[in-house]
Amino acid sequence: MAFTQAEEAMILKAVDETRVRNTIDRYFHCVDAGDWDLLATCFTDDACFEFNLSASEKKILQGGKVITDYFHDRNRLFRTKTHYVGHAEIAIAGDTAKADVYAISNIVINDRVAIRGLRYADTLVRGADGNWRFRNRVHLALWSHYATFVEPEVPAS
C-alpha cells in the first residue's frame, strides 16, 4: 500500500508525537520507580529543570546529571509515590518539541499523602540517535491537599 506525501507526513508526525510522549511517560515512571540510570536518559547534558516547590520557592537545576542526582536524593524523603499523567499538548517543529503536560502526584511523606495537580512546560530535542530528551522542563504545582496514609489491604479470597 502506497501512501501519499501528505499521509506520510501525518504518519511521521504521529510517530514523533508518540516518541515525545514516551519520553514524558518514561520520566514519570523513572521518578516513581527510582530508576535513576533510565531517568538520566530523559535529559540532555545541558538540560535545565525549574522545580517550583511552592508559590514562593523554586529550585533551578542545570545539567542532566545534576537533575538526576537531585531526584535521587530528594526521593529518599518519600515512602512511596505515584504520578498519573494526564493530557499532553505536543507541538513539533523539526528537531524541537514543545509539550504542555498535566499530571497528578501522590507522594507519601511519613503518615501523610500529598496530592497535587501539576503542570509541566517542556522543551524536548531530538538527538543524533533519534531519541527525544528534555532540554528544558518547568514544574508548576497548581493545587494540593493532604490525606492520611493507610496501609493497603487486599481482601482474602
Give the pLDDT mean for 112-139: 96
pLDDT at 2: 87
What does the pLDDT look like over 35-47, one tens digit per residue? 999 999 999 999 9
Q: Tell me: the pLDDT tens digits for 53-95?
A: 777 888 999 999 999 999 999 989 999 999 999 999 999 999 9
CA distances from 68 to 9, 21, 108 (A): 35, 19, 20
Q: How confident is the model at residue 11 (pLDDT cuts 50, 70, 90)?
A: confident
Domains, the chain, with CATH or none: 5-148 (3.10.450.50)
Evaluate if residue 151 carries a pLDDT over 90. Answer: no
| Cell triple for 119 | 503542570
Dump the DSSP string for the chain. ----HHHHHHHHHHHHHHHHHHHHHHHHHHHHHT-HHHHHTTEEEEEEEEEE-SSS-EEEEESHHHHHHHHHHHGGG-SEEEEEEEEEEEEEETTEEEEEEEEEEEEEETTEEEEEEEEEEEEEEE-TTS-EEEEEEEEEEEEEEEEE---------
pLDDT > 90 in the chain, percent: 79
Q: Which pLDDT value is given to residue 56?
A: 82
Mean pLDDT of the region 86-105: 96
Number of Cβ within a 10 Å radius of residue 43: 25
C-beta of residue 75 within 8 angstroms of C-beta of residue 82:
no
Question: What's this model's pTM, rounded to 2 decimal places?
Answer: 0.90
Residue written as grid cell 505536543 = 90
45 vs 51, higher pLDDT: 45
pLDDT at 8 > cutoff 90: no
